[in-house]
Amino acid sequence: MDTQTYHAANSDEKLVYRAITWTYGFWLLGAMYLVAPVIGWVLLLRMLKRYTFDGAHYRISMAQKAWLQGMFIMLLVLIIGHLEQALGIPKLIKSSIGWAKGWALIAIFPLLGALDIRPSIIYRALCVVGKHTLMLLPLFVIAWLIKLPSTLYVSPLSIVGGPGPEFFSVSLYEIDPGSGTPRWRLFTPWAPALGLMGNLVSLGALQELTPKFRRYGLGGGLVMILISQSRLAIICYLFILGFFALIRWHRSPWLYLLASPVTLLGGMVGTQVIESIDNTIHAVKAARAGSTRVRQELANIALERWANEAVLWGHGIVERGPHLVEYMPIGSHHTWYGLLFVKGIIGAIALALPLGIGILSLLRPALNSPLCATALAFLSMLLLYTFGENLEILAYLFWPGLILVGLAHKQTAQDDQIGSQIAAAESATASQPI
């Protein structure tokens, strides 16, 4: 591919490319948490201006509309929950601002896929992040070896408000309290979030066509996953490799020829395999038993209080947990339990429906389109992460993947329209007398 295709062709591409490639610069400023909301809302306002005043036309797919409707319902649920729990106007305003920096972005960035942004720009930018990670990794390791302070400073930008100081801090490394070993979170608020970003960088690298940058992306993404020591990140990485192997070889008869004896063998030794998998799962959980225990207790408390206190609309906000869960907020560490506790069953449905529609709409196109396959892998990865993270609080990190989802939805909508036009033309031709 001509390297010129990686040069930003318009202001939208330039803004997106620079926002991704300047990740470590924004991290040093403590501005990572602020960049994504600013970019998302600025691009949305520009999009609305072009549509209203310049006559621009944008094709919005059903899946993109589903994200918009779902996240708007999140806002309505937030308002009703605050009023029902009598939390007061100040907390309602604060939570609404939080919605604009979290759940709203999960709808805005897929919508921005309707803009003239090429996926190759995002792939290359993610590979650049991987390159910068490989370049800076020795400094982070040396910082741990010579016992520099784990956190250098918290940016003054934290005054604008956010979930916590870790979103604005510059951390060189951290020590896992359970094992006493070092782990790194780099530009993310905690180590498992770095694993998520490592998987996103790997996704971009798999579609990068220039070998040098593909190596940067694959190497940097894998390093981010490994130094995060996140079990979920490793599972997602293996899923991504298996997913793209299936996409690549799904038409090959060898795949099905090999599948037959493997299936037969699996039936013969299925019990032993299941036992081995079960033992592996227990070993993985035992590796960080303290974390596993806290997560399980948080889930139990969230479910019990949701079912007994606020089934439909939730409690409106997260609450500090007891000593049993090390005072972790109830509803954290799990998207679905968090939604049930904070926004009730309505909030959980508001996420489940667009996520399901997005995945289902890309299943068939993914077999023939690398972009749709990448978007489907990303949404599947997000689905896995809903069981270990709160998505809305990390939307400011994985927003490039959301744009790819929007671009894939735009492509499928265009393909469907072209197919309909061809079918209509063929029908009209066939109906003409000979």
Which residue in this structure is represented by tokens 């359970």? 178
pLDDT (tens digit per residue) in 355-400: 999 999 999 999 889 999 999 999 999 999 998 888 999 999 999 9
Are the beta carbons of 102 and 40 closer than 8 angstroms? no
State which residues form the domain around 244. Answer: 3-421
Say how far apart CA 194 and CA 203 lie, in whole Å. 14
Among 140, 108, 28, 48, which residue's Cα sits nearest to residue 396?
Answer: 108
Query: How many of the other CB atoms lie within 10 Å of CB of 152?
Result: 12
Say how far apart CA 30 and CA 156 lie, in whole Å. 8
Residue 426 lies inside a defined structural domain of this protein: no
Residue 21 lies inside a defined structural domain of this protein: yes
Residue 432 lies inside a defined structural domain of this protein: no
CB-count exposure of residue 229 (10 Å: 0-12, 13-18, 19+) = buried
Residue 358 lies inside a defined structural domain of this protein: yes
Query: How many of the other CB atoms lie within 10 Å of CB of 100?
Result: 15
Residue 320 lies inside a defined structural domain of this protein: yes
The pLDDT score that the predictor gives to residue 289 is 52
The structural domain count of the chain equals 1
Q: Which amino acid is at 258?
A: L
Q: Which amino acid is at 353?
A: L
**What average pLDDT score do residues 64-76 get?**
95
Residue 428 lies inside a defined structural domain of this protein: no
pLDDT of 62 above 80: yes
Look at 258 and 11; give whichever has higher pLDDT: 11
Under 8 Å CB-to-CB from 139, ≥6 apart: which residues? 172
Under 8 Å CB-to-CB from 325, ≥6 apart: which residues? 294, 297, 298, 301
Say how far apart CA 3 and CA 15 lie, in whole Å. 19
Residue 27 lies inside a defined structural domain of this protein: yes
The pLDDT score that the predictor gives to residue 254 is 54
